[in-house]
A and B are shown apart, each in its own frame.
Chain A
Amino acid sequence: MSVRPDARPAGHKPPFWRDRAKRALIFQLILVAVVAAFLIYIIGNTQANLEARGITTGFGFLSDTAGFGIGQTLIEYTSQSSYGRTFVIGLLNTLLVGGLGVLAASIIGFIVGIARLSPNWLIAKLANAYIETFRNIPLLLQIFFWYFAVLRTLPSARESMAFGEAIFLNVRGLYLPQPLFESGFGLIPATFIVAIVASIALVMWNKRRHEATGKRLPVFWMSLVIIFGLPLLVLVVTGVPVTWEMPVLRGFNFGGGITIIPEFLALWLALSIYTASFIAEIVRSGIQAIPHGQTEAAQALSLPRKLVLRLVVIPQALRVIIPPLTSQYLNLIKNSSLATAIGYPDLVSVFAGTTLNQTGQAIEVIAMTMAVYLIISLLVSMFMNWFNARVALVER
C-alpha cells in the first residue's frame, strides 16, 4: 500500500468548521439563539402593546361574570355564570358535535366505501358520485348550504313539518319527544352492562372452545341477542317505566320535549357528509390494498366466503384503514370549529369568539382554545402509536 504524498500526519485534527460534530453543535446553538431572540422580541412587543391598551394578563378573568346567553348548553348555564363556565360549555358542545359527527360519518363512510366496491355497476357509480361530489366542495360552503339554504328556509313554528304527532321540524329546529324515566328504570342500564359482560365472556369461552375442539358457535348473533334482548326483556317485565314528554305548540313556539337547534343540525349534517366521503375512500383503498392472493389462498383452504372476509380480509384491511381513519376523525373535530360561521356555540364560537371580544384577553383565550385541540390531537396520536405497535406486521 502506497502512502499518498498529501496524507495527513497522524494526530492532525481538522479545523472545527470541518468537524461534523462541532459544526452541528455550533449550528444548533445558533438556532437556539435565533429562536430565543425571536421569542424575546415577540414577548417584549406584546407586553408593550398590552400595556398601551390597558389589558392585564392572567387568567383572573375566568371567574368574572360572563353576562351573555348561549343557545345550547349541556350543563346548567345562565348569563350570571363565569367566563370559565363558557369555556366548559363550548368544550362540551364541540365534543358533542364531534362525537356524533364521528359516529354518523363512520356509518355513512363505511356503507359508501363498501358500495363503491359493489359488483353492481350502478351502485358502485352512485357511491363514486357521492364521494366525488362532496369531497370536492369546501366544508364551509356545505355548512352554509345546509344552514342558510335548507334549515333557515323551513316553515315557521305554526306551520312546522310534523312526522307523526311526536317529531316537528321548523325554522327554529327539530323537536323530539323527551323520555322521562320513572323509578325502576335504573335496572335497564344495569342489565345492559351485565349483558355486555356476559357476551364478552361468551366470546372468550367460544374462542377457547374453538381452539380446543375446532367447533364454534355463532357468537356474533348470540351476543347481539343478549345485549339487546336482555334489557328489552327487563323493560317489558318492569312494565316500561318510561313516559314520553311530547313537544306541544304553545303560542309561537314549541314547549316540552328536546329541542335540537338548526345550527347543530347544519353543522352535524355537513361534517358527517363531508368527512364520510373521505372515510369511504379510505375504506375502499384499505380493502383493495389486500392482495387478491390472500382471498384466493383462503378460498383454496375452502374457508366459506363469510370467514374469508372476517378472518383474512378485514383484519388486514383494518391495519391499513385505522391510521388514516383516525386522522379523519381528528380533522372532523378540528373542522367542527367552523361552527363559528353559523353561530353554533362551540369552543371557538363561544370562547374564542364572544368571550374573547368581551374580555380582550386574546392571548389567554387563544392559547386555551389551541391547547384543547392540541391535547385532543396528542391523545389521538398516542392512541395511533399504540395501535400501530400492536398491529404492526411482525416480520420474520
Chain B
Amino acid sequence: MIHNKDMIPEQPAPKGTIGPIGWLRGNLFNGPINSLFTLLGLYVLYLLLVPTIQWAFINADWIGDSREDCSRVGACWVFVNARFSQFIYGLYPSEEYWRANIVFAMFAGIIAWMVIPRLPFKRWMTVFALLGFPVAAYVLLHGGYFDLPRVPTHRWGGLMLTLLLASVGMIGALPIGIVLALGRRSNMPIVRTFCVIFIEFWRGVPLITILFMASVMLPLFLPSEINIDRLIRALIGLTLFQSAYMAEVIRGGLQAIPKGQDEAAAALGMTYWKRMGLIIMPQALKMMIPGIVNTFISLFKDTTLVMIIGLFDLLGIVQAALSDSRWLGFSIEGYVFAAFVFWIFCFSMSRYSQYLERKLNTGHKQ
C-alpha cells in the first residue's frame, strides 16, 4: 500500500482564478457568449459615455452671462447659471429669498434628523414636521404676518414649489389615507363601501384629469363668492389623489400584522381606537415606511403635472425659460439640469427606502 505519511502542503489557488484576472474571467469572459456580451456592453458604453462626457464637460461652457459666451460645441451651462435662482425660487422676489432659504434649511434639518438613526426625539420631530413646520413655512413664504411683505402664490415657483407641493400633498394625504385604510377594513358595510369607492375612484383616473377637475370644476362646486387660489386647487387635487394611494399602502401594512395582535388587545378590554392607536398602528407604520417613501417618490415626480394647469414648478419654470427669445435652442441643457435635480432627489429617496426595508426586515425574520 502506498500512501503519503505527510500532509501535502496547501497550494495557492490557480493563478487564473484569483485576483483581478480571476474576477474578469469569472464575471466578464466566462464562455464565448458571455465574452461577446461583455464586448457588446463595452461598445454601448463607449458610444454613450464618450460623446456625453465631451458634450457635458470637456466642450462645455460654464462662465458668462449671455448666449454669446457659448461656443455651441458642447453644453451651454451658462444658460442654467443665468437662470439658476429662477429655477430654484420661481418668480419669488429676490430680496425675499432669505425666507425661502430658511424654509429650505428647516426642511433639510427635519429630513436629516429623521434619517440619521442616532438622533433622539424622533417622535417629537415627526409631530413638528406634520404640524409645526407647515404653519411656519406658510407664514414665512406667504408673509402678511410679523411685518413680512406678502408674496402672492402665483410668484412661487421652481424647486421651491415642487418641494412644497410634494410635502403638502404628503402631509395632507397621510391622515386621510389612514382613515380610508381603516374604513376599508371596517366591519361596517356602508363605511367600507364609501371607502372602496373613494379609493378606487382616485386610483382609477389619471392625475391630469384630477388636476383639470380641480382647476375647472372646483370653482363650479363652490358658491361663486368663494374664489380659491390656483395653488390651493392643485394642492386639493394632489392630496386627494395621493391619499388614495396612501390608503392602499397603509392597508397593506395593516394586513401584515397578525390577527392575534388585535385579538389579544381586544381580550385585554381595549377599545377599537386604543387597539389601533397603541397596538396595530405603531407596528404597521414601521413596516409601511418603505411603501410610504415609494409613494412619496411617485408623488414627487407627479408634481411636474401641475405645469399643465399653469403653475411654474421646476419643470414648468425650465420650460418657460426655454421659450425665452434670448435663450432659444438650449432645451437639452434645461432638461438635463431639471432631470438631474429630480434624479438626485428620487434616487436618494429610493436608496433610503431600500435601506429601511433591509433594516426593518431583520426584526420579522424567523
Contact = CB atoms under 8 A, between A and B. Distances in A.
B342 A138 contact: yes
B188 A27 contact: yes
A160 to B, nearest CB: 20
A138 B27 CA distance: 34
Contacts of B315: 138, 140-141, 144
A287 B49 CA distance: 30
Interface stretch (A164-172, A242-250, A334-342): A334-342
Given A138-B302, A148-B322, A366-B212, A119 B190 contact: no
A164 B307 CA distance: 41
A273 to B, nearest CB: 13
Interface stretch (A202-210, A307-315, A370-378): A370-378
Nearest to B29: A120
B38 A369 contact: no
Contact of A120 (B28, B207, B220): B28
Nearest to B339: A137
B278 interface: no
Interface string B36-62: 011001101100000000000000000
B38 A120 contact: yes
Interface residues of B, number: 55
Given A126-B44, A137-B343, A356-B216, A377 B203 contact: yes
Interface stretch (B67-75, B83-91, B108-116, B330-338): B330-338
A348 B208 CA distance: 8
A49 interface: yes
A89 to B, nearest CB: 18
A363 interface: yes
B203 to A, nearest CB: 7
Nearest to A356: B216
From A49, A126, A140, A142, name the one whose CB has the most chain B CB atoms within 10 angstroms. Answer: A140
Interface residues of A, number: 53
Contact of B338 (A27, A126, A141, A363): A141
Secondary structure dominating the interface of B? helix
Contacts of B44: 126
B356 interface: no
A385 to B, nearest CB: 13
Nearest to A352: B212
B209 A145 contact: no
B222 A45 contact: yes
A142 B336 CA distance: 10
Given A138-B301, A144-B335, A362-B216, A122 B38 contact: yes
A50 B206 contact: no
Interface in A121-155: 121-123, 126, 132-133, 135-142, 144-145, 148-149, 153
Given A24-B188, A42-B221, A340-B208, A122 B350 contact: no
A24 B209 CA distance: 35
Contacts of B223: 45, 48
Contact of B217 (A140, A341, A363): A363
A27 B37 CA distance: 65
B188 A28 contact: yes
B331 to A, nearest CB: 4
B365 to A, nearest CB: 14
A373 to B, nearest CB: 5
B205 interface: yes
B123 to A, nearest CB: 30
Contacts of A32: 190
Contacts of A42: 221
A28 B206 contact: no
Given A136-B350, A140-B315, A141-B315, A118 B216 contact: no
Interface string B224-249: 10000000000000000000000000
Contacts of B339: 137, 141-142, 145
20 contacts: A24-B187, A27-B188, A28-B190, A32-B190, A45-B222, A120-B37, A122-B41, A122-B45, A126-B41, A126-B45, A136-B342, A137-B339, A137-B343, A140-B305, A149-B332, A337-B208, A338-B208, A352-B212, A363-B217, A373-B204
Interface of B: 27-28, 30, 34, 37-38, 41-42, 44-45, 187-191, 194, 200-201, 203-209, 212-213, 216-217, 219-224, 297, 301-302, 304-305, 307-308, 315, 319, 322, 331-332, 335, 338-339, 342-343, 346-347, 350
Which are the 6 A-B pairs with shortest beta-carbon distances? A377-B204, A136-B346, A121-B27, A334-B206, A138-B301, A337-B206
